[in-house]
Structure 1
């Protein structure tokens, strides 16, 4: 028996016209609130007093700013009772949530800039929901279950089928079978009191992009609706204050919109109010499957969770990892590199969110290829060796933005003319203001975490893992943990604790679809994650006193004066109007 409590708190952010996080579109701004956005928390304590805290937020992602401020607050409040290794922060990845919540510059460009009151409101909601969850702890039984969506349920499609089909372990799928090119399994943790379901956590990977980039309201999208429907269903059965968390698994290449013949024509028929109805229907599918799976009055049919709570977490610099040969197909000397965005990133995805116009992408591709040829042609150049290594790591990616070096096609950011795009105008404004001189554009040092709850190991990944990339991480961890007979299941949660773009398989990466173009650290990014998660799994097998791994590394502090210059607090209208004038 565990002591378990739960709570949810609204994230109190007033829509004022700041851009939302997810689509990276200057015009995608919040002027209304369609549904409330929540922080939903669960606190679980085992018989030894070890506490696991899990909080899922109706946000596009978790940032280091969110996590570090939450850790600081919880350390003050809970003192020695708090172990940051045993805190999991997850995001539903709604693209209709607030932007401007990170310290790093790039993904905040459309907002424009960093918005301190957004960050404050999010941390307040997390901390209050966790405090209330702890205060409501009671004897609770926990059960695990899995359930598959039937093939005909129109809930998810693979949006990158050519890349998916490159993986040797998959059954190749046609354009008419994209709904089968994903993991259709939902994984569930059910919380029961007096043999009655009270709350649950669902893991299923599908993008929260039912709502497109032309809408202007905060909304929880499919995951938010799934939680609302499930909580309402439990309330109607007499459960008081239920909390149902619908978190993400391998969603990187999984869309809630049809992908196949006539995909754009079909997507364009869902507009405005219909998009909200579509998001509700997708949420209803998820809610119904979850409740069908775990709402059994005789939980003996389900697998009961028994055993201790434990966790290991380590921050790793993904930009500088040497890959063991076992994860690099026997290659020696394989390495990750500084983060780079390819032209495919700027092209966006065909159905969920188109990026720059095709003619602009063609121009980018030509320039990226020309720059590549020029850099490998002159062995005596001072930067020849560095670019050779970069291209070895990044493989077929047509590099446009070297985010680590802050260069576009080898030139310092700030050189493209502002007239091209309001986002470029905002970047140029920040460069001129000296706002990103010593600040990273994107995170490179990110947390990898494995949490143990009895016989379940939960692999908590930052960023967006594709279906097969996530499956390989799970397989790697599972193979390592077989030495520990009491761990029977390994599940994966994504969008956890920070955000650093995508992770594709090596094979998918060669396709350079959007997901590969946004796999920042090169073609060995997944291999780096596998090797690091293997090491963490090995540590989890040891007694706490015998563990030896890096618990000290953290991202470098952001210069406060630069953060202040990136803050458009009180200056939103001016920044937006300047961008739109461009």
Structure 2
């Protein structure tokens, strides 16, 4: 979870709390709010909904089938296929931006990825902004797009299904469906034969294309009241009328080598020992979680601070006759449908006109998954990762009823205090050390240059390696670790004394920045910059730029440095 969530369970998995993650997130949010405020203008908002196929499937269909047949019969698919788009336009009708909601996990690139990557949602936003801001660098411009998540708890972008690696044997990751020795059950995206990145591109492109199509339709116009309510509540105190989370999913297998699989309803001898060493679950906890076998009693461990969140935040926004709701949990397909249906019914009982109820999540923290009562009994990954038991969805619905009621009455709602454990946070990552350049070099020097003796063409990759500092010294918020620059001639067509124009940054899909430590003891490292040239690149003269920071010996002051490759030609 990136090192910014408070609870110990989520910090352990990423070696703790990281200020390099938290500070840019907070500052980025502040910057976004400030820019939005500084650019307030009259405009309009409209809603469009359309079906997007071949982009998502259910990764736990056996669990979904446990839901009542009469309920399932109301829907054509076992996942939500509709994309919902809010389009924002200025008073002349010119586009300002869009928000898209579509249920699909961001796991196209999966655990094979070692780069900072926005997965299919990030690619969709990137392509949309490049399309709507055609003359901008890396898509940054007037038009802003956001590809938000919806009820994707059991939804995967690996649309070809799951197979045992290295074989054509289908699988589902359960204890009754084991792969051959040395093989694991993995989902396959539409471009899997080429790479995970190709699957990511395809799924992201399809979302971008649909969102742009819906935006251009200019659908249902929103007008009327703008309102919101939010509530912090302790879900463990709510009264309402699994160990195999470690097995992972078919999107990223977990501890199957230790005998832990999806849909197990019993523990293993080894994990039972580990469980009891950390904390033996109470009888009440075992009853609450049944039929889930408890791997680790995270809900009752509070050292050095709570392992699971207990106080959660939910929100309800009103934009005229459209309502947006959010939870910190990842809701499965049917959970999201039930929640939306319940909220819509409650709103209408108060006399609200409801065009649509949009579910957006997870938001405002993280609280793992939320299945329906029926899906919980199967105890696949999603049920095993529902930490508050089989009635979690009903608790959310009850809490949202309160939000609807106070919104209808024009009153406020009581909330409990949100705990703050940041002062107790830990980090197991190695500390920042002083940086030193490689011997006989200075920061920014080129170690391996581009090929200057030949002409690059579409389909080729240009690469250069530089003497670097640790990128943790500065995460380059609103900036870039790399550039691809084109030499633009002045009038007359001559390159002499021409101007370098940035055409790519580290935000672009076809560029990559890789950092590697050469000597941890001496603080020496290098950075590799790569650019894939495609047929949209104009013929001309180019160079690669590297931008970094190094930490000095005594003062520990962080100092910027930069370097450029030799110029090269693209034909």
TM bracket, shorter-chain basis: 0.5 to 0.7
The answer for the alignment partner of 2:547 in structure 1 is: none
The answer for the alignment partner of 1:44 in structure 2 is: none
Q: Aligned match of 2:383 in 508, 516, 520?
A: 516
Q: Aligned match of 1:290 in 184, 187, 211?
A: 211
1:495 aligns with 2:362: yes
1:557 aligns with 2:454: no
* Alpha-carbon distance in structure 1 between the residues aligned to 2:82 and 2:265: 39
How far is the alpha carbon of 1:271 from its aligned partner?
A: 6.1
* Alpha-carbon distance in structure 1 between the residues aligned to 2:221 and 2:373: 37
Q: Could you tell me whether the CA contact under 8 Å between 1:157 and 1:257 is conserved in 2?
A: yes
The answer for the alignment partner of 2:86 in structure 1 is: 189
C-alpha spacing 1:218/1:261, structure 2 compared with 1 (3 Å): closer
1:127 aligns with 2:44: no
* Alpha-carbon distance in structure 1 between the residues aligned to 2:70 and 2:313: 29
**1:471-501: CA deviation from partner (whole Å, max 9, x where unpaired):** 1111111111002333332111111111000
Q: Aligned match of 1:472 in 310, 323, 338?
A: 338
How far is the alpha carbon of 1:540 from its aligned partner?
A: 1.1
The answer for the alignment partner of 1:541 in structure 2 is: 408
The answer for the alignment partner of 1:532 in structure 2 is: 399
Q: Aligned match of 2:66 in 143, 154, 166?
A: 166
C-alpha spacing 1:565/1:158, structure 2 compared with 1 (3 Å): closer
Query: Unpaired segments of 5 or more residues in structure 2?
Result: 169-186, 434-471, 473-516, 522-571
**1:343-363: CA deviation from partner (whole Å, max 9, x where unpaired):** 21010002x000013443279
TM-score (norm 2): 0.65
The answer for the alignment partner of 1:140 in structure 2 is: 43
Q: Could you tell me whether the CA contact under 8 Å between 1:116 and 1:569 is conserved in 2?
A: no
1:275 aligns with 2:196: yes
**1:375-419: CA deviation from partner (whole Å, max 9, x where unpaired):** 9xxxxxxx99x834323321200111111222xxxxxxxxxxxxx
How far is the alpha carbon of 1:262 from its aligned partner?
A: 4.0
Q: Could you tell me whether the CA contact under 8 Å between 1:102 and 1:108 is conserved in 2?
A: yes
Matches within 5 A, 1:294-443: 294-296=215-217, 299=218, 302-323=219-240, 325=241, 342-350=242-250, 352-361=251-260, 365-367=266-268, 387-406=282-301, 437-443=303-309
Q: Which has the larger radius of gyration?
A: 2
**1:330-377: CA deviation from partner (whole Å, max 9, x where unpaired):** xxxxxxxxxxxx121010002x000013443279944479979x99xx
* Alpha-carbon distance in structure 1 between the residues aligned to 2:111 and 2:103: 20
* Alpha-carbon distance in structure 2 between the residues aligned to 1:309 and 1:532: 21
Secondary structure of 1:312's aligned partner: strand
TM-score (norm 1): 0.64
How far is the alpha carbon of 1:169 from its aligned partner?
A: 4.8
Secondary structure of 2:197's aligned partner: helix
How many residue pairs get aligned? The number is 406
How far is the alpha carbon of 1:235 from its aligned partner?
A: 1.4
The answer for the alignment partner of 1:180 in structure 2 is: 77
The answer for the alignment partner of 1:451 in structure 2 is: 317
C-alpha spacing 1:554/1:292, structure 2 compared with 1 (3 Å): same
Secondary structure of 2:42's aligned partner: strand
Secondary structure of 2:312's aligned partner: strand
The answer for the alignment partner of 1:252 in structure 2 is: 153
Q: Which structure has the highest strand share of the two?
A: 2
1:103 aligns with 2:14: no
Query: Unpaired segments of 5 or more residues in structure 1?
Result: 1-20, 22-98, 326-341, 376-382, 407-435, 578-582
Q: Could you tell me whether the CA contact under 8 Å between 1:114 and 1:568 is conserved in 2?
A: no
C-alpha spacing 1:124/1:318, structure 2 compared with 1 (3 Å): same
C-alpha spacing 1:170/1:276, structure 2 compared with 1 (3 Å): farther
* Alpha-carbon distance in structure 2 between the residues aligned to 1:309 and 1:565: 42
* Alpha-carbon distance in structure 1 between the residues aligned to 2:335 and 2:160: 20
* Alpha-carbon distance in structure 2 between the residues aligned to 1:388 and 1:359: 26
The answer for the alignment partner of 2:533 in structure 1 is: none
* Alpha-carbon distance in structure 2 between the residues aligned to 1:138 and 1:315: 32
Q: Could you tell me whether the CA contact under 8 Å between 1:142 and 1:192 is conserved in 2?
A: yes
* Alpha-carbon distance in structure 2 between the residues aligned to 1:402 and 1:371: 11
Q: Could you tell me whether the CA contact under 8 Å between 1:403 and 1:442 is conserved in 2?
A: yes
Q: Could you tell me whether the CA contact under 8 Å between 2:265 and 2:379 is conserved in 1?
A: no
* Alpha-carbon distance in structure 2 between the residues aligned to 1:113 and 1:370: 23
Q: Could you tell me whether the CA contact under 8 Å between 1:393 and 1:524 is conserved in 2?
A: no
The answer for the alignment partner of 2:105 in structure 1 is: 207
C-alpha spacing 1:284/1:509, structure 2 compared with 1 (3 Å): same
1:570 aligns with 2:487: no
RMSD: 3.3
